[in-house]
C-alpha cells in the first residue's frame, strides 16, 4: 500500500487532483454560498461566525424566499420575459446567419470577401460606441419600452454565427448539391431542403450560444425597458438589488432563479455549448 | 453551384441591413456626435474639438483612464496565468477530468448581475464570509472594506472579473495544448529533458500563437469592462472603480451628455484599435512558429 502511494505516477495524479479541487472549490464556492444563503433565516444570514449549513434546509419555510421572489417580486414573469426575448433574438439570428452563411459559403458574388471582412471586423467596435446612436434611433422609431430593441439588433447581425455556419456549409460535399440541381431545385430550395436539415447540430449549438448571450444581456434591457411587467431577469435583478439592498436571502433567490435555466441548458447540452463557444468566441 | 445574379445579395440582405443600421451607421453618427454638444432635447451644436479638449483637461477622465489601465494590469495576467494553468490541469488523462472542465467553464455562462450579487455578499465588510475567513483563519487584524474602500474596490472588481472569465480562455488554451503533437514530448523525455524543460522548450513556444491571440482578446476585454463595474460598485466609492466603458454609460445616460460621451467612446475605440494594431505589428517578433 505504501509503495503504491509513493509510486511516482500515483503521487503525480494525486497532486493533480489536489490542484484540480482547489480550482473547483474557488469556482463553485460563490454558487454554493448563493444557494446556501437562500435557505437561511434572517438571523442565520447575519450570524457571526457565518454558517455554511443553512438553518432552514429541510425545515418548514425552506422555500419561503423563492416563493416570495417568484410571486411577490414577479420573478416568474421576468423569467418568462427573458425566455421570450432570448428565444426570439436567437431564432432570428439562426435565420439571418444561415442565409448569409449559405451565400458566403456556396455562391460567388462581387464584394463577398469584402462584406465578410467588414462583418467580422466590425465586431471589434465596442458597444459603448454604437449604443448612443442606437438608443436615439430606437427613441425615434418609438420602440422604447418594447422588446424590439432587445430583439432586432441581435436578430439581424450575428457575425460569429455567420462565420460558423459558413465554415459548416463550405464543408458540405458537392455531390449532394449536384443531385438537387439535376432535379431542378432552386437555390432557395437547396438552402431549405438540403443545407438546413443537415446542419441541425451546428444550428443547435448556435442557438444555445445566442440564447445564453441574449439571456445575459444587461445594457440593453437597462436602457430600453421601464415598465416593470416587461423586465427581463437581468434588469429585474438590477432593480431588485437597488430596492432591497440587504435582504440577501431574497436577492440571492432571485439570482438563483435567473441563473438556473441557463445552468440546466448548459448541463444538458454541455458539449455543444463548450465546443461552440470555443470555436466562435460567443456574441 | 449555379445561381441567379441577384440571389446571393438577397441571402445576405438582412445581415447587411443590420450591419448598416446597427453597426456602421451608429459608429459614423457617434464619430460625428463627438464633435458636438448634444443633450438630446436640443439639436446637436457643432463644437469642433471642444469635447476632446474638455476631456483632456478633466481630472475625472484621467482618473478613469488610470483605473482602466490598473484593471487591465490585474485582469490580463490574472486571466492568462490562471487559464493556462487550468488548461494544463484539464489536459491530463485523469478520471473525471471532463467534469472539472465543465465546472471551470460555468461562471462564464452565468449572468454577471447574478454572480455580482453573491460576490458583493462575500465581500461585505462586516458580515461577509471573506473578511470572516481573513480575521479568523489568517489572523488579519484589520481587513479592508473591499468594495467600499478606495484602494481595494477596483482590485476586487478585477478579481471577480477574472473568476468569471478564465473558463473561456482555458478552453482556447486547451485547444492549443491538444494540438501539440505528443511525439515531441516523447522524443524530449528520451533525450532526458525534465518536465520543466519540456514546458519551457516545447509547450510555451508552440503555444505562442494562441497565447498571443488570447492576450489580444483579453486586453480588449479589459478595456471594455462594463458589467462588473455596473453591477458591483456603480463606479464607487467616489469614482475609485469607474472604468472607461462605465464612464461613457454614465455621461450618456445619467448626465445626458451624448456628445461628450461619444468623444469618450471614440477614445475607447481608438485605444482598442491601436492595441490590436500594435499587437499585430509585433506579432512576428513575439510569436515563434516552430516546426
**SS3 letters across B125-139:** CCCCHHHHHHHHHCC
Q: Is B81 on the interface with A (CB under 8 A)?
A: no
Q: Is A106 on the interface with B (CB under 8 A)?
A: yes
| List of chain A residues whose C-beta atoms are within 8 Å of the C-beta of residue B127 | 45-46, 48, 50
On the question of pLDDT at A31 being above 90, the answer is yes
Lowest mean pLDDT among A46-60, A95-109, B39-53, B90-104: A46-60
Q: Is A95 on the interface with B (CB under 8 A)?
A: yes
Low-confidence ranges of chain B (pLDDT < 50): 290-291
User: pLDDT (tens digit, 9 = 90+) per residue, A178-196?
Assistant: 888 888 888 899 999 999 9
pLDDT score at B290: 46
Q: Is A125 on the interface with B (CB under 8 A)?
A: yes
Q: Is B105 on the interface with A (CB under 8 A)?
A: yes
Q: Is B32 on the interface with A (CB under 8 A)?
A: no
Q: Using CB atoms and an 8 Å cut-off, which of residues 43-72 of chain B contact chain A? A: none
Q: Is B86 on the interface with A (CB under 8 A)?
A: yes
What SS3 state is found at B36? strand
Q: Is A206 on the interface with B (CB under 8 A)?
A: no
Residue written as grid cell 458591483:
B232
| List of chain B residues whose C-beta atoms are within 8 Å of the C-beta of residue A34 | 114-115, 117-118
User: What is the arithmetic mean of pLDDT over A142-152?
Assistant: 94
Q: Is B170 on the interface with A (CB under 8 A)?
A: no
pLDDT score at A46: 85
pLDDT score at B291: 41
A240 secondary structure, DSSP code: H
Q: For residue B245, what is the nearest residue in chain A, using CA coordinates? A: A128
Q: Is A239 on the interface with B (CB under 8 A)?
A: no
- Return the closest-CA partner of residue A169 out of A88, A238, A103: A103
Long-range contacts: B118-123, Cβ < 8 Å, 24+?
B118/A30, B118/A31, B118/A33, B118/A34, B118/A37, B118/A252, B118/A255, B119/A30, B119/B160, B119/B163, B119/B232, B120/B147, B120/B232, B121/A33, B121/A37, B121/A248, B121/A251, B121/A252, B122/A30, B122/A33, B123/B147, B123/B156
- Return the closest-CA partner of residue B269 out of A118, A117, A219, A129: A129
pLDDT score at B87: 94
Asked if A34's CB is within 8 angstroms of B117's CB, the reply is yes
Q: Which of A30, A45, A218 sits opposite B227 (nearest CB)?
A: A218
Q: How many whole angstroms separate alpha carbon A73 and alpha carbon B258? A: 34
Q: Which of A153, A187, A277 sits opposite B171 (nearest CB)?
A: A277
- The structural domains of chain A, ordered by start, are 68-280 (1.10.3720.10)
Give yes or no for a cis peptide into A197 (omega within 30° of 0).
Answer: no
pLDDT score at A282: 44
Q: Which of B17, B115, B121 sits opposite A248 (nearest CB)?
A: B121
Q: Which of B2, B18, B26 sits opposite A133 (nearest CB)?
A: B26
Q: How many whole angstroms separate alpha carbon B111 and alpha carbon A261? A: 11
User: What is the arithmetic mean of pLDDT over A193-214?
Assistant: 89
Q: Is A266 on the interface with B (CB under 8 A)?
A: yes
User: pLDDT (tens digit, 9 = 90+) per residue, A154-184?
Assistant: 888 888 889 889 988 998 888 888 888 888 8
- Better pLDDT: A224 or B213: A224
pLDDT score at A75: 92
- Better pLDDT: A8 or A225: A225
Mean pLDDT computed over every residue of chain A = 88
Residue written as grid cell 490541469:
B89
Asked if A130's CB is within 8 angstroms of B23's CB, the reply is yes
Distances (CA, A) of A10 to B96, B182, B197, B277: 16, 21, 22, 47
Q: Is B202 on the interface with A (CB under 8 A)?
A: no
On the question of pLDDT at A274 being above 80, the answer is no
Asked if A237's CB is within 8 angstroms of B114's CB, the reply is yes
Q: Which of B12, B100, B102 sits opposite A100 (nearest CB)?
A: B12
Quick one: pLDDT band at residue A24, thresholds 50, 70, 90?
Answer: very high
- Better pLDDT: B136 or A93: A93
Give yes or no for a cis peptide into B98 (omega within 30° of 0).
Answer: no
| List of chain B residues whose C-beta atoms are within 8 Å of the C-beta of residue A271 | none
Lowest mean pLDDT among A7-11, A148-152, B120-124: A7-11
Length of chain B: 291
B241 secondary structure, DSSP code: T
pLDDT score at B136: 85
- The structural domains of chain B, ordered by start, are 50-286 (1.10.3720.10)
Candidates A18, A20, A177: best to mutate against B (most CBs of B within 10 A) is A20
pLDDT score at A6: 65
Q: How many whole angstroms separate alpha carbon A228 and alpha carbon B228? A: 23
Q: How many whole angstroms separate alpha carbon B170 and alpha carbon B175? A: 9
Quick one: pLDDT band at residue A4, thresholds 50, 70, 90?
Answer: low
- Better pLDDT: B247 or A10: B247
pTM above 0.80, yes or no: yes
pLDDT score at A175: 86
- Alpha helices for chain B (secondary structure H): 7-19, 25-33, 50-56, 59-90, 97-109, 112-123, 129-137, 153-178, 182-190, 195-198, 204-223, 227-232, 244-249, 258-286
Q: Which of B17, B27, B112 sits opposite A156 (nearest CB)?
A: B17
Candidates B18, B123, B136, B236: best to mutate against A (most CBs of A within 10 A) is B18
- Return the closest-CA partner of residue B210 out of B74, B80, B71: B80
| List of chain A residues whose C-beta atoms are within 8 Å of the C-beta of residue B171 | 274, 277-278
pLDDT score at A280: 58
User: What is the arithmetic mean of pLDDT over A1-26?
Assistant: 82
- Better pLDDT: A54 or A97: A97
Candidates A128, A140, A150: best to mutate against B (most CBs of B within 10 A) is A128
Q: For residue A18, what is the nearest residue in chain B, using CA coordinates? A: B89
B58 secondary structure, DSSP code: -
Amino acid at each position: 500500500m505504501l509503495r503504491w502511494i509513493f509510486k511516482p505516477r500515483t503521487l503525480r495524479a494525486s497532486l493533480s487532483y489536489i490542484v484540480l479541487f482547489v480550482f473547483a472549490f474557488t469556482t463553485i464556492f460563490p454558487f454554493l454560498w448563493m444557494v446556501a444563503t437562500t435557505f437561511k433565516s434572517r438571523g442565520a444570514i447575519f450570524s457571526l461566525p457565518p454558517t455554511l449549513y443553512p438553518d432552514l434546509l429541510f425545515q418548514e419555510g425552506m422555500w419561503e424566499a423563492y416563493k416570495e421572489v417568484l410571486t411577490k417580486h414577479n420573478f416568474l414573469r421576468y423569467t418568462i420575459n427573458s425566455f421570450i426575448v432570448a428565444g426570439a433574438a436567437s431564432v432570428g439570428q439562426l435565420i439571418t446567419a444561415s442565409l448569409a452563411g449559405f451565400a458566403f459559403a456556396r455562391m460567388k458574388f462581387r464584394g463577398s470577401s469584402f462584406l465578410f471582412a467588414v462583418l467580422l471586423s466590425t465586431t471589434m467596435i465596442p458597444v459603448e460606441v454604437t449604443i448612443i446612436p442606437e438608443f436615439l434611433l430606437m427613441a425615434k422609431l418609438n420602440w422604447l419600452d418594447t422588446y424590439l430593441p432587445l430583439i432586432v439588433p441581435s436578430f439581424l447581425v450575428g457575425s460569429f454565427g455567420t462565420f460558423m455556419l459558413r465554415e459548416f456549409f463550405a464543408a458540405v460535399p458537392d455531390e449532394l448539391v449536384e443531385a438537387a440541381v439535376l432535379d431542378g431545385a432552386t437555390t432557395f430550395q437547396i438552402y431549405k431542403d438540403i443545407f438546413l436539415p443537415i446542419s441541425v447540430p451546428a444550428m443547435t449549438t448556435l442557438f444555445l450560444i445566442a440564447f445564453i448571450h441574449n439571456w445575459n444581456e444587461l445594457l440593453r434591457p437597462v436602457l430600453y425597458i421601464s415598465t416593470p411587467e416587461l423586465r427581463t431577469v437581468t434588469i429585474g435583478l438590477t432593480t431588485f438589488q437597488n430596492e432591497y439592498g440587504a435582504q440577501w436571502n431574497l436577492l440571492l433567490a432571485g439570482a438563483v432563479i435567473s441563473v438556473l435555466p441557463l445552468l440546466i441548458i448548459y448541463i444538458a447540452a454541455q458539449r455543444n455549448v463548450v465546443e461552440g463557444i470555443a470555436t466562435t468566441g460567443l456574441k | 453551384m449555379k445561381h441567379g445574379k441577384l440571389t446571393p445579395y438577397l441571402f445576405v440582405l438582412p445581415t447587411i441591413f443590420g450591419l448598416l443600421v446597427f453597426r456602421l451607421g451608429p459608429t459614423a453618427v457617434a464619430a460625428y456626435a463627438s464633435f458636438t454638444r448634444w443633450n438630446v432635447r436640443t439639436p446637436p451644436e457643432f463644437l469642433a474639438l471642444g469635447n476632446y479638449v474638455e476631456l483632456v483637461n478633466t481630472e475625472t477622465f484621467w482618473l478613469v483612464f488610470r483605473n482602466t489601465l490598473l484593471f487591465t494590469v490585474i485582469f490580463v495576467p490574472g486571466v492568462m496565468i490562471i487559464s493556462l494553468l487550468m488548461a494544463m490541469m484539464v489536459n491530463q488523462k485523469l478520471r473525471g477530468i471532463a467534469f472539472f472542465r465543465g465546472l471551470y467553464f460555468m461562471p462564464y455562462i452565468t449572468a454577471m448581475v447574478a454572480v455580482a450579487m453573491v460576490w458583493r455578499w462575500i465581500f461585505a465588510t462586516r458580515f461577509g464570509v471573506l473578511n470572516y475567513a481573513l480575521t479568523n483563519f489568517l489572523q488579519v487584524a484589520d481587513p479592508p472594506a473591499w468594495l467600499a474602500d478606495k484602494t481595494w474596490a477596483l482590485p476586487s472588481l478585477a478579481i471577480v472579473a477574472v473568476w468569471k472569465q478564465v473558463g473561456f480562455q482555458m478552453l482556447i488554451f486547451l485547444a492549443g495544448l491538444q494540438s501539440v503533437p505528443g511525439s515531441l514530448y516523447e522524443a524530449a523525455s528520451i533525450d532526458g529533458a525534465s518536465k520543466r524543460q519540456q514546458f519551457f522548450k516545447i509547450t510555451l513556444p508552440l503555444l505562442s500563437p494562441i497565447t498571443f491571440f488570447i492576450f489580444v482578446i483579453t486586453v480588449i476585454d479589459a478595456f471594455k469592462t462594463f458589467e462588473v463595474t455596473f453591477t458591483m460598485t456603480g463606479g464607487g466609492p467616489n469614482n475609485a472603480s469607474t472604468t472607461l466603458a462605465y464612464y461613457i454609460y454614465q455621461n450618456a445616460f445619467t448626465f445626458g451628455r451624448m456628445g461628450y460621451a461619444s468623444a469618450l467612446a471614440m477614445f475607447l475605440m481608438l485605444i482598442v484599435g491601436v492595441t490590436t494594431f500594435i499587437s499585430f505589428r509585433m506579432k512576428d517578433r513575439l510569436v515563434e512558429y516552430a516546426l
